[in-house]
């Protein structure tokens, strides 16, 4: 059960060396569509500046350093590449196929994150960091297309069952804003009246006395989310 490495740094050792370990993150944010102005799902990608896949777009990521937990590594990574602090962060999956990278064996532990639009608007964007619509990312480096697809599947799942949508929004929000989140992620229209009934019946949603003023129509009431995210091992003891 315990590996003992031979002392000589020869080819045989290098060949049987343990796979290297990397952390990557799929970061989701809602941004207004260019056309309709309604919110749509976007993710930031970084351009590869080295081989392999030099020039292609890839998920932000990097090695796991010795002194940080997996979640901290994902957080730091997110901060370094986009300048963003996530409002939600959860482990997605460990990808460890043999031929993910042509040069060496790499195991990537991938996280997915949600950031709020106020943050996302401030996000660094440059020659080498650009936001893409989540459903139109083109051909990515490594197996990152499969990873993005899986992350999207998980996000949709969590949205449909868990109470995740509020991490896309600020502290106060209208029910129409929540509905826009659902419509953007699930990519279909929802009946406003039925949606209202469902959301208001969940105990984690609190009605405030405030209303959002300045709109063109009847001022909607503001709500607040009082729940907590987590059930995966990293977030379990969070009170």
Partner DNA sequence: ATTAGTTTTGGTCAATGTGACTTTAACTAA
Partner DNA sequence: TTAGTTAAAGTCACATTGACCAAAACTAAT
Distance, in Å, from the CA atom of 167 to the CA atom of 114, rounded to the nearest integer, reads: 6
Nearer to a copy of itself, 74 or 165 (CB): 74
Q: Going residue by residue from 94 to 113, which x/- string records binding to a copy of itself, judged by CB under 8 A?
A: xxxxx----xxx-x-x----
Beta bridge partners of 133: 42
**Torsion angle in degrees (nearest 10) through CA of 139, 96, 70, 63:** -70
CB of 127 to DNA, least distance (A): 38
Instruction: Report the residue from 10, 36, 126, 194 that binds DNA according to the rule CB under 7 A.
Output: 194
198 binds DNA, rule: CB under 7 A? yes
Q: Reduced to 3 states, what is the DSSP secondary structure of residue 176?
A: helix
Q: Which of residues 29-68 bind a copy of itself (CB under 8 A)?
A: 48, 50, 58, 61-68
Kindly indicate which of the ranges 25-33, 37-45, 91-99, 162-170 contains the residues binding a copy of itself, using the contact rule CB under 8 A.
Answer: 91-99
Asked if 70 interacts with a copy of itself (CB under 8 A), we say yes
Q: Does 19 bind a copy of itself (CB under 8 A)?
A: yes
- Which residues 162-181 are close enough to bind DNA by CB under 7 A? 174-176
- The helix or strand, by DSSP H or E, that contains position 29, with its residue range, turns out to be strand 20-32
- Cα(30)–Cα(42) distance, integer angstroms: 6
Q: Running DSSP on this structure, what letter comes out for residue 99?
A: T
Looking at the Cβ atoms of 104 and 200, the one nearer to a copy of itself is 104
Single out the segment in contact with DNA by CB under 7 A; choices: 18-26, 39-47, 100-108, 192-200. Answer: 192-200
Interatomic CA distance for residues 110 and 60, integer angstroms? 10
Smallest separation (angstroms) from a copy of itself to the CB of 158: 13
- Judged by CB, which is closer to DNA: 93, or 195? 195
Question: Which stretch in 114-122, 185-193, 201-209, 226-234 sits in contact with a copy of itself by CB under 8 A?
Answer: 226-234
Is residue 153 near a copy of itself by the rule CB under 8 A? yes
Count of beta carbons in the 10 Å neighbourhood of residue 145: 13
> 167 by DSSP, 3-state: which?
helix
Distances in Å between the Cα of 173 and the Cα atoms of 18, 115, 157, 167, 237 are 48, 15, 22, 11, 27
DSSP summary character for residue 82? H
Indicate the DSSP class of residue 38. Answer: S
Query: Contact residues for a copy of itself (CB under 8 A)?
Result: 1-3, 7, 9, 15-22, 48, 50, 58, 61-70, 91, 93-98, 103-105, 107, 109, 146-147, 150, 153, 231-233, 236
């Amino acid at each position: 059960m315990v590996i003992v490495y031979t002392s000589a740094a020869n080819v045989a050792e290098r060949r049987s060396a343990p796979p290297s370990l990397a952390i990557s993150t799929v970061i989701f944010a809602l941004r207004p569509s260019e056309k309709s102005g309604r919110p749509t799902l976007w993710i930031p990608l970084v351009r590869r500046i080295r081989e392999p896949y030099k020039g292609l777009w890839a998920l932000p990521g990097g090695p796991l350093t010795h002194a940080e937990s997996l979640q901290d590594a994902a957080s730091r990574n997110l901060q370094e590449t986009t300048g963003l602090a996530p409002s939600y962060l959860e482990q997605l999956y460990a990808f460890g196929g043999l031929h993910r990278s042509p040069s060496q064996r790499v195991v990537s532990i991938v996280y997915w994150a949600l950031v709020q639009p106020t943050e996302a608007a401030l996000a660094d964007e440059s020659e080498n960091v650009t936001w893409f619509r989540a459903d139109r990312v083109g051909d990515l480096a490594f197996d990152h297309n499969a990873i993005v697809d899986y992350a999207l599947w998980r996000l949709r799942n969590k949205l449909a069952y868990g109470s995740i949508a509020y991490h896309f929004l600020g502290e106060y929000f209208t029910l129409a804003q929540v509905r826009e989140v659902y419509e953007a992620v699930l990519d279909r229209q929802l009946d406003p009246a039925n949606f209202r009934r469902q959301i208001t019946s969940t105990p984690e949603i609190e009605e405030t006395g405030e209303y959002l003023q300045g709109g063109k129509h009847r001022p909607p009431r503001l709500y607040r989310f009082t729940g907590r995210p987590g059930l995966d091992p990293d977030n379990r003891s969070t009170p």
